[in-house]
Every structure is written in structure tokens, then in C-alpha cells.
Amino acid sequence: MVQVLDKSFEVFITRDEIQTEVESLATKINADFEGEDVVFIAVLNGSFMFASDLMKCITLESEISFVKMSSYEGTSTTGKVNELIGLNNNLEGKTVVIVEDIIDTGITIDKIMTLLSMEGAKEVKVCSLLYKPQAFKGTHKPDYIGFSIPNAFVVGYGLDYNEKGRNLDSIYQIKESKSEKSKMLNIVLFGPPGAGKGTQSERLKEKYDLVHISTGDVFRGLDPTSELAILAKSYADKGNLVPDDVTIQILEGEVSKYPDAHGVIYDGFPRTTAQAEALDTFLSSKGTSVTKMISLVVPEDELKSRLISRAEVSGRADDADPVIIQNRINTYKSTTAPVAEFYKGQDKLIEIDGVGSIDEITARIFNAIDSLER
């Protein structure tokens, strides 16, 4: 733990983790722009450490400029005028990579992209060490992201708290008390394939400022050539569950990326009693627990109809094959459904009628959560 001015901070991302990710980002950029003339534009003040370490790993023929955004009152009726101070490079026909320490709302990047579009660059990409998807409201999502983090305050490795703490070699977050962690809203969103968990998760995420962790998204985000991804795919392609030990290991790593979250929606996890017990143990070690399981109840015929309709849009093979659909539903009934009994035994199960319009189902879920005493 470190003290910066009047606040205490604890390690969020270590120096070694940062360096490993910086090397990974550089490897991707080197591969994507091999043989091209690249101009890196680092946005001050926060990116100076990240830009320095990144450039040490860049093998491309390249240039770098350090710039700052400046706003001033114009003399015309257009009001505020934005400009980049320090940009002296000729960008005509060149590839530009903007280097940022952190992107939250994305407003600054949008302004920079607008300004660079007038400089004749062949293409402009954005590389950010940190990215806050919950806070992002811009139009240019980073092309290269080191770490996606919750919408929480961080300091170190170029980031400051009232201009202090930039010199720290790791990234720190404000130390959170146990009482604050215990108030987290941790929802297990439960239901068979086709129940609409993904749609409702997005709405819960927006209303309650939660992190959405979907086992499906996490597995699909794995390196497809890795042994873990190949193993997980071999089970999923047959409509079977990925083994508990593999799933738990991956999900714990994913949850640990968001230590400052207001809460988490667990979509597709836990799927077995063993996973539910492991989740309880893991959350207890973090000073929190599952708040409630919300179970979407939908008749089997309705589920099959939804999955087939979804396949027409998504192109997912597992949604189109009636045999796989039936196997997924059978697996849910035999293996996953007993998890509801686990949470029912803890008085944490809430069953929601999952038939009706999306808005109607959303309203039922919101009413159930808003009635909770936390």
C-alpha cells in the first residue's frame, strides 16, 4: 500500500504485469504494420511512461511525437477551438498510432481523431494501456487495449492524483474498506439457453453500473490456438459443459480484473453446484458474496423457437441444430438446474417469469432487485 497526498492506494496492476502487457501490445503492433512507416503520437502528461516502454519494444521504422490537447476561446462564432500542441510531424500518407495511458469517456480521443483527420494520415489507430468500458461514451474505441478496468480511480505509471504519484512503477487503486465491498450487488443471472440472459444482463449492467461477466464471452475471447480454448470448444461444440476446474480458473481470473466494481452479473456461471460452492469461497476471500440468483423461467417450446430465430441472425451453429439445442436444454435440466436449489437453500433464489416482451421481463427483474435490502 502507498500513500499519495491524503489517500491510501493498494496495488492494482503490478510492474511485471504492466511490462508483460506492454510487450504483448508491441508485438501486435509490429506484426500489424510490418514494413510501414509509422508515427506514434503520445498524449501527455499521463502516457510518458507507457510510451517510453512501448517504444523500446517497437521494431518498426517509426517516429514519435509527444503532444498535448489545448482549448482556447476562438474569435469566431465557433466558440472553443481545440489544437494539438507539439505535433510537428508530416503525417501525409503515414500510419498513425495514438498512445494513451487511459481512455475513459473517449471524448479526448474523438477530438484528437478529428484533428488528425485533417493531416492526411493514411490511417489512425489508438493504443491505450487502460480502458474503462463502463465510462466510455465516444465513437473511437481503442484498437489496442492493455487492460480493461472498472470505472474507478487509479494512480501510478504516469497517472496522477492531483499531479502526484506519476512516478510509481505499478498502477494503484484507492483502498476500499470491507464494509464497502460487502455492499456489492453480485447477481447470478440464471436460465436455460434462449432465456434471454444476455439481453437482460446488458440492461442490468447499465442500470446498476455492474460488470457483466459471461462465460460464453470469456471462452470465445480466449486465444483460439491455446490448449485451454481448444479444450473448452470441444465441450461447447457438443452442447456439453466445460469441466468445473477449467471454468473456475478462468472466471476467477476474469473477476479479479475488476476489484473496484460496484458489483458483478454472473451470466452462465455457476452451472454446477461445485462451481457455486467455489464461487462462494472465492467471493468470501474478497470480502463479499452472491446477493441473489435471478432465474428466468421459460417453457421449453419457447426456448427452442427463440434459439432457432437467433441462429438466423447470429449464424451460431449451436443455435441452429435441433439435436444440439435439445442436448443443451437436457444438460441444463440435469446439471445446471440443481444450482437453483443450492441458492434456494441460502434464501437467495428469485424466479422471474421469462415470457413476454423484453421490456416487461426487464421491469420484473428491476422490481425484484430494487426491493432488496442491501
**Is the separation of the CB atoms in 260 and 150 below 8 Å?**
yes
Contacts (Cβ under 8 Å, ≥6 apart) of 240 = 327, 331
Distances, alpha carbon 75 to alpha carbons 10, 72, 79, 95, in Å: 47, 10, 7, 33
Global confidence as pTM: 0.50
Secondary structure letter of residue 133 according to DSSP: T
Per-residue pLDDT band for 133 (boundaries 50, 70, 90) equals: confident
Residue 17 pairs in a beta bridge with: none
Q: Is 374 a catalytic residue?
A: no
Q: Is 364 a catalytic residue?
A: no
Q: Which of 160-169, 275-284, 288-297 has the lowest mean pLDDT?
A: 275-284
3-state secondary structure of 363: helix
Per-residue pLDDT band for 318 (boundaries 50, 70, 90) equals: low
Secondary structure letter of residue 177 according to DSSP: P
Report pLDDT digits (tens) over 19-73. 999 999 999 999 999 988 899 999 988 999 999 999 999 999 899 999 887 544 4
**Is the separation of the CB atoms in 185 and 290 below 8 Å?**
no
Give start-end residues of each CATH 3.40.50.300 domain in the chain: 178-370
Catalytic residue among 111, 141, 306, 310: 310
Q: Which three cell numbers stand for residue 170?
A: 505499478
Nearest to 19, CA basis, from 56, 47, 44: 56
Q: Are strands 263-267 and 185-190 parallel, antiparallel or unpaired?
A: parallel
> Cis link prior to 192 (omega < 30° from 0)?
no
On average, the pLDDT of the chain sits at 83
**Is the separation of the CB atoms in 177 and 160 below 8 Å?**
no
Report pLDDT digits (tens) over 169-219. 999 987 755 445 457 899 999 888 888 888 898 899 988 889 888 877 777
The structural architecture, per CATH, of the domain 178-370 is 3-Layer(aba) Sandwich (3.40)
Nearest to 196, CA basis, from 13, 67, 348, 361: 361
State how far the Cα of 339 lies from the Cα of 349, in Å rounded to an integer. Answer: 10
Catalytic residue among 68, 122, 207, 316: 316
3-state secondary structure of 188: strand
Catalytic residue among 94, 132, 271, 292: 271
Q: Is 306 a catalytic residue?
A: no
Residues 242, 246, 249, CA angle at the centre, nearest 5°? 135
Instruction: Average the pLDDT over 148-156 and give the result.
Output: 83
Distances, alpha carbon 115 to alpha carbons 75, 95, 142, 321, 325, in Å: 19, 15, 17, 49, 50
- What's the confidence (pLDDT) of residue 324? 82
Q: Is 220 a catalytic residue?
A: no
Which helix (DSSP H) or strand (DSSP E) does residue 20 occupy? helix 15-32
Catalytic residue among 132, 166, 197, 205: 197
Q: Does pLDDT of 146 surpass 60?
A: yes
Residue 9 pairs in a beta bridge with: 2, 174
Q: What is the DSSP string of 327-338?
A: HHHHHIIIIITH
Report pLDDT digits (tens) over 225-282. 777 677 777 776 766 666 777 777 777 777 877 777 889 999 878 888 888 888 888 8
- What's the confidence (pLDDT) of residue 373? 60
3-state secondary structure of 87: coil
**Is the separation of the CB atoms in 65 and 47 below 8 Å?**
no
Give start-end residues of each CATH 3.40.50.2020 domain in the chain: 2-174
3-state secondary structure of 63: strand
List, as own/partner pairs, every contact residues 352-355 make where C-beta atoms lie below 8 angstroms and the sequence separation is at least 24, other chains included.
352/294, 352/295, 352/296, 352/297, 353/297, 354/191, 354/195, 354/196, 354/296, 354/297, 354/298, 355/298, 355/299, 355/302
CATH number, domain 2-174, options 3.40.50.2020, 3.20.20.70, 3.40.50.300, 1.10.1060.10: 3.40.50.2020
Q: What is the DSSP string of 211-250?
A: EEEEHHHHHHTS-TTSHHHHHHHHHHTTTPPPPHHHHHHH
